[in-house]
Amino acid sequence: MSLRICSILCLIAVLVSRSDAVEPVTSKRPVLGVAGVLYEFSTNNDTGVLVTNVIPGFPATNLWEVKGKPDGQKFKLVPDQDVIVEIDKIAIKNFHQLREYLRSLTQTKPEVPIVIVPKVGGERKQYFTQLVVTP
């Protein structure tokens, strides 16, 4: 009996140690690191990526900062309200597209166009943001 329990505990330890490398299939709010800060996103019915929240421990003011043109006024993305539908002229329909685009970056892009729509009604607005490639 104790050998069986020991085997189960060893299996759990192996699975836990590998969990960092494996992405959970059932994850509803994938975690993404951008510019050294972690964010949560969820897919908005395949119509874009909803900014859901920052990871607990990071203040909400650390959300992506976007700039308007031509005045350069800065705005923060609003959790549970802003939906990203396009980045760098690439349509973003779900989180996986956003993640793959960000993973494909090989260098920092200082001024990338980003299109955001409100979750409930409202018009598309284009802003600009910096995408930072971190080691």
Residue 109, strand partner residues: 131
Q: Is the pTM of this model over 0.75?
A: no
What was the pLDDT predicted at 39?
55
Whether the pLDDT of residue 63 is over 80: the answer is: no
- Give, as one character, the DSSP assignment of residue 78: P
What was the pLDDT predicted at 114?
87
Phi, psi of 52 (to 5 degrees): -90, -40
Q: How does pLDDT run across 78-125, given as a tens digit for each residue?
A: 777 888 899 889 998 887 888 788 778 778 787 888 888 888 888 888
Question: Superfamily assignment of 24-131 in CATH?
Answer: PDZ domain (2.30.42.10)
What was the pLDDT predicted at 98?
80
Residue 124, classed as helix, strand or coil, is coil
Q: What angle do CA 132, 30, 23 make, to 5 degrees?
A: 100
Residue 10's alpha-carbon distances to 13, 14, 15, 21, 94, in angstroms, are 5, 6, 9, 18, 37
Give which of 80, 111, 116 is closest to 98, Cα–Cα: 116
Q: How does pLDDT run across 19-60, given as a tens digit for each residue?
A: 343 343 333 444 455 444 445 666 667 788 877 665 554 444
What is the rounded average pLDDT of the residues 65-70? 76
- Give, as one character, the DSSP assignment of residue 12: H
Which tokens belong to 30?
Answer: 């994938």
Domain ranges of the chain: 24-131
What was the pLDDT predicted at 107?
80
